[in-house]
Structures are given as structure tokens and as C-alpha cells.
């Protein structure tokens, strides 16, 4: 059998062509079964992903050493310490004030002028009253009781006293007669019993006793009447004597009225001279109440004068906070966020509170706290509104934590959530002074430990957390 010639391969191509190794083909799975396997793997991955513990996003703060201040925050305003209200001294027509607010004035500077009203009618009326009071004073002396009237009253008293003495003597005589009649009646009764006298003699003795008794009663009544007559006479003398001194009182009344009218006349004459109103001090015109020419009455405020460089603070606080504020406490006045607060100090806590209705309609007892600026140069003017913080306690290098990390636990204790190895751990702490943002920690935390701020109901013991 003849074999076919073998075709020789090109030696060059055989040398340069890489040798290919063939692998055994993998067994092919059915397409439907492969889809089931993939779907099962995806399902398992999704279940594991859904039930894995996810850390809760929280805000984290830190316990640290630092300065802490306890403050009473309130709104206040500035005011000129020595404020002078210039008012009209007389009724009249006010000339237009040429000065403007902010103009400086010195002591004695004319700041306003008033044309006085005619005073003739007022002067004539005062003169008429003065003449009337003087005439009435002259006629008072004629109202005194005469000396004869007083003497007659004294004689009447003497006569009444003599009559009273006679009546008292008659009473004594009648009482002695009654005593003798009683003894006679007793003897008569005894003698009748012994048979020494008759019944008629005994009855005569009894009748005599009754008569003497009635005579004594009549004498006593007469004596009482005479005593009353003495009292009436004495009262009449007292009335006459009082009438004698009454004109002295009226004279003093008329003297006072005359002096008052004369003083009024002097005032009316003086008012005509008080047409120029002058500044009492060196200062600046803070406000002009009446600028235009107009009629004004005495006492109408015209302008306020003071030194705007001498300002003080007036801060009204709740009375419950006022008891914590002491003289000399620092006051911090906030400015822009990038500026240091302006310094002031408490000079006075007013001793009396006042009632003020809050924005919510609640009546509050508030107290004014007066403060002085530490630095005389400050950007405020009169009646500027300020946000003030009165420092009632301050401490250096105290352990503090943000107050937003605290929450109540066990009803009366304070707790925080501390972040340890990514988990929240509840811890009870003891706090001290409380500021507006931070609170002093006395026990339960160490400096540098992280705490969760604003803990919600999602935060519980052992839960994983992470910072936002």
C-alpha cells in the first residue's frame, strides 16, 4: 500500500511560531441552572448587607479643661449719667430754637427764649386779694369777747359753787336727822314690845324716820342740781375764753394769706425777667423736644442736655437673677462676631423691682442693674440697645463639657453618652456651675473624652456611632 508523501513544514516558521497548549474544555452548565446560582448569591449578599449593624451618625463634642463663666444674659440700653431736662420757666410764646441736636453748650449759654404773657391781670388780682386779707385781719380784733363778759362768767361760777356748798350742808344735816330717826324708831319698837309705850307712839317714830329719809333724798337731788350748775358755769367760762383766743388763730391765718399773696406778687414780677433760658452745665444737646416757635406753658420740656461721653448701662433682669448679681461683677457687651466684648462693671442693683409684661403676656418682676464702662472710649451713644452678659461666676482650668450633651437619667441624675471604640456608653456624671454653652463636670469624665451632642432616642448603650 502506497503511502502519500508527507508535507514538510517550513523549518523557519516552525522555529518562530509559539507552541500552543490546549486545555481540556470545562464542562458546560446549563444556562438556566447558572442563572439560579447567580440569583441566589445576589440574594445572600443583599440580606447580609441589610442586616449588618450600621453606625448612627452623631455630633461629637469633647470634655476639656478651660475657662468657664456663668452669666445672666439680658438686654439693656445706654444712657447719659447726668441728664438735664431744660423746661420752660414761664407761660409764653417760645421763639424758634436755633440750636441743633449735637451742638455743644457751656454753662450760661442761652438755649431758648420766651416772650412772657401780660401779667397785669394776675398782678391786679393778687393786689385785690392782698387788700381783702388785710381788711379782714383788721376786723378780727372786734370779734373778741369783752372783759365784762368774762368777769360775769367767773361770778356765775362763784355763785354756783356757793350754792353747791349750801346744798351739801343740807345733805349732811338731813343724813344726821335720818340717823337719829332710825335710832328713835328702834327704841320705840323695843319699848312697845316691853309694854312701856303705846302702839301710837311707835307708829309716830316710824313716820318720823320715813319723813327724814325723804328729806335726805330731796337734799341729795338739790345738791346734784347745784353741782351741775357749777359745771354749766365753768363750761360757759371756757367758751368765752376760747372765743377770746379764736381771733389769734384767725390773725395767724390772715397773716399767712397776706404773706402768700405778697410772695405771689414777687413771683409774678420775677417771671417777667425769666425770658432767657440758659444751660445749667457744660455738655451737648442730646434731644430737642420743642423746635418750632409756639405757645408753651410753664414746665414744658424743651431739650435734654448732657455729656454723651459719660454713659452708663441700664440692664433690666428678672428679680430671681438680680439676687445673684453683686457689685463689681463684670459685664460683657457683645459686638461683632470678630470683635472682643466691651467691658463694664456693676455699680448698682436698684433696691426696688417693677412689673413688666413679657412678649408672652406674663407679668414679670424685673430689676434695673446699673453698670459703668471700664473704658471711657466706646462706640455707643445715648439710649443705644445692647446685648449684655453679667458674669456672676468664673473659673479657670475647669473640666467642662457642652451642655447639649447632658440628659436626665434615673429621674434626678445627669448622664452623657461617651464614645468608646466607636460605641456609645452611658455614664453618670456630677455637674457644677452651668454656663450658657458649657457646664462644669465635677465627677464622671476625664479631659479629652468624646461625648455625643444632642442625644436622641436612637442612641442607646452599646450602639455603634460615627461622627457626621
| Same domain membership, residue 459 and residue 315 | yes
Query: CATH number for the domain including 197?
Result: 1.10.287.620
* Pair (315, 449) in one structural domain: yes
pLDDT value of position 229: 82
What is the H or E stretch that residue 185 is in? helix 147-194
Report which DSSP code applies to 33: H
Within this chain, do residues 177 and 240 fall inside the same structural domain, yes or no? yes
CA dist 57 and 309 (Å) reads 53
Does pLDDT of 121 surpass 70? no
The 8-class DSSP code of residue 143 comes to: G
318 and 240, same domain (yes or no): no
Asked if the model's pLDDT at residue 176 lies above 80, the reply is yes
Residues 352 and 290 in one domain: no
Domain for residue 52, yes or no? no
Has residue 355 got a pLDDT over 80? yes
Residues 257 and 289 in one domain: no
Residue 389 lies in a domain: yes
- pLDDT band of 306, cuts 50, 70, 90: very high
The SS3 assignment for 15 reads helix
Does a structural domain hold residue 29?
A: no
Q: How deeply is 285 buried, as exposed, middle or buried, from its count of CB atoms within 10 A (0-12, 13-18, 19+)?
A: buried
- Please check whether residues 326 and 420 belong to one and the same domain: yes
Domain of 426, CATH number, reads 2.40.30.170
Compute the distance between CA of residue 326 and CA of residue 116 in angstroms, rounded to an integer: 51
The length of the chain, given as a count of residues: 468
Contacts of 373 (CB under 8 A, 6+ apart): 311, 312, 313, 342, 343, 344
Band of pLDDT at residue 247, cut at 50, 70 and 90: low
Report the distance separating Cα 115 and Cα 314, nearest Å.
Answer: 39
Is residue 331 domain-shared with residue 353, that is, in the same domain? yes
Average pLDDT over residues 170-187: 84
Among the candidates 246, 271, 296, a domain finishes at 271
Task: Out of 19-33, 36-50, 339-353, pick the least confident.
Answer: 19-33
* pLDDT, greater one: 35 or 289: 289
197 and 104 both lie in a single domain: no
Q: Which of 83-87, 93-97, 125-129, 309-313 bottoms out in mean pLDDT, i.e. has the lowest?
A: 125-129
E strand spans, 63-201: 64-80, 83-87, 92-94, 104-105, 110-116
Q: Do residues 357 and 363 lie in contact, with contact meaning Cβ atoms separated by under 8 Å?
A: yes
For the cut 90, the answer to whether the pLDDT of residue 203 exceeds it is: no
C-alpha cell at 209: 324716820
Q: Bin 6: left if φ > 0, else alpha if -120 < ψ < 50, else beta.
A: beta
- Looking at the structure of the chain, the number of domains it has is 3
- Segment 182-204 shows an average pLDDT of 82
Does the residue 108 lie in any domain?
A: yes
Domain of 89, in residue numbers: 84-117+274-306
Per the prediction, the chain carries an average pLDDT of 83
Question: Does 74 reside within a domain?
Answer: yes
Q: With pLDDT > 70 as the criterion, what percentage of the chain qualifies?
A: 85
The Cα 68–Cα 400 span in angstroms is 8
Task: Note whether 341 and 457 are same-domain residues.
Answer: yes
Domain boundary at 306, 324, 355, which? Answer: 306
Q: Do 141 and 278 fall within a single domain?
A: no
Residue 426, in any domain of the structure: yes
90 pLDDT higher than 90: no
Q: For the domain that residue 112 is a member of, what is the CATH number?
A: 2.40.50.100
Q: Cell 413679657: give the residue.
A: 358
Q: Do both 229 and 293 map to the same domain?
A: no
Mean pLDDT confidence for 410-427: 92
The pLDDT value recorded for residue 50 is: 59
With beta carbons less than 8 A apart as the criterion, state whether 230 and 164 touch.
yes
Given a cut of 80, is residue 165 above it in pLDDT? yes
Residue 27 has a pLDDT of 54
Amino acid at each position: 500500500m502506497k503511502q502519500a508523501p508527507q508535507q514538510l513544514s517550513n523549518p523557519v516558521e516552525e522555529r518562530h511560531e509559539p507552541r500552543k497548549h490546549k486545555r481540556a474544555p470545562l464542562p458546560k452548565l446549563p444556562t438556566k441552572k447558572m442563572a439560579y446560582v447567580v440569583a441566589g448569591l445576589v440574594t445572600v449578599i443583599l440580606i447580609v448587607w441589610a442586616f449588618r449593624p450600621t453606625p448612627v451618625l452623631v455630633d461629637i463634642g469633647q470634655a476639656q479643661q478651660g475657662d468657664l463663666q456663668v452669666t445672666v444674659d439680658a438686654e439693656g440700653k445706654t444712657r447719659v449719667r447726668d441728664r438735664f431736662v431744660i423746661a420752660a420757666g414761664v407761660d409764653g410764646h417760645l421763639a424758634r430754637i436755633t440750636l441743633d441736636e449735637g451742638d455743644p453748650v457751656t454753662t450760661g449759654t442761652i438755649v431758648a427764649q420766651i416772650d412772657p404773657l401780660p401779667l397785669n391781670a394776675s398782678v391786679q388780682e393778687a393786689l385785690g386779694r392782698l387788700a381783702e386779707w388785710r381788711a379782714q385781719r383788721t376786723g378780727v380784733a372786734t370779734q373778741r369777747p369783752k372783759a365784762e363778759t368774762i368777769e360775769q362768767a367767773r361770778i356765775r361760777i362763784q355763785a354756783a359753787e356757793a350754792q353747791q356748798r349750801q346744798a351739801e350742808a343740807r345733805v349732811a344735816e338731813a343724813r344726821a336727822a335720818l340717823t337719829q330717826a332710825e335710832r328713835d324708831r328702834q327704841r320705840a319698837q323695843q319699848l312697845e314690845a316691853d309694854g312701856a309705850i303705846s302702839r301710837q307712839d311707835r307708829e309716830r317714830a316710824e313716820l318720823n324716820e320715813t319723813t327724814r329719809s325723804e328729806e335726805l333724798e330731796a337734799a341729795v337731788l338739790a345738791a346734784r342740781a347745784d353741782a351741775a350748775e357749777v359745771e354749766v358755769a365753768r363750761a360757759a367760762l371756757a367758751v368765752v375764753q376760747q372765743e377770746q383766743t379764736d381771733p389769734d388763730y384767725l390773725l395767724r391765718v390772715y397773716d399767712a394769706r397776706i404773706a402768700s399773696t405778697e410772695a405771689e406778687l414777687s413771683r409774678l414780677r420775677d417771671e417777667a425777667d425769666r425770658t432767657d433760658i440758659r444751660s445749667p452745665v457744660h455738655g451737648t444737646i442730646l434731644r430737642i423736644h420743642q423746635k418750632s416757635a409756639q405757645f408753651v406753658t410753664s414746665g414744658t420740656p424743651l431739650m435734654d442736655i448732657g455729656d454723651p461721653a459719660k454713659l452708663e448701662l441700664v440692664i433690666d433682669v428678672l428679680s430671681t437673677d438680680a439676687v445673684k448679681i453683686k457689685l463689681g461683677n463684670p459685664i460683657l457687651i457683645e459686638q461683632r462676631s470678630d470683635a472682643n466684648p466691651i467691658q463694664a462693671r456693676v455699680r448698682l442693683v436698684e433696691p426696688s423691682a417693677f412689673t413688666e409684661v413679657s412678649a408672652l403676656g406674663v407679668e414679670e418682676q424685673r430689676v434695673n442693674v446699673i453698670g459703668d464702662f471700664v473704658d471711657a472710649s466706646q462706640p455707643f451713644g445715648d439710649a443705644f440697645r445692647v446685648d449684655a452678659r453679667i458674669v456672676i461666676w468664673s473659673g479657670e482650668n475647669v473640666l467642662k463639657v457642652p451642655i447639649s450633651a447632658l440628659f436626665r437619667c434615673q429621674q434626678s441624675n445627669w448622664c452623657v453618652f461617651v464614645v468608646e471604640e466607636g460605641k456609645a456608653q452611658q455614664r453618670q456624671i456630677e455637674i457644677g456651675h452651668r454656663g450658657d454653652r458649657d457646664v462644669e463636670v465635677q465627677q464622671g469624665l476625664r479631659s479629652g473624652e468624646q461625648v455625643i451632642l444632642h442625644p436622641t432616642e436612637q442612641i442607646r448603650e452599646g450602639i455603634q456611632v460615627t461622627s457626621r
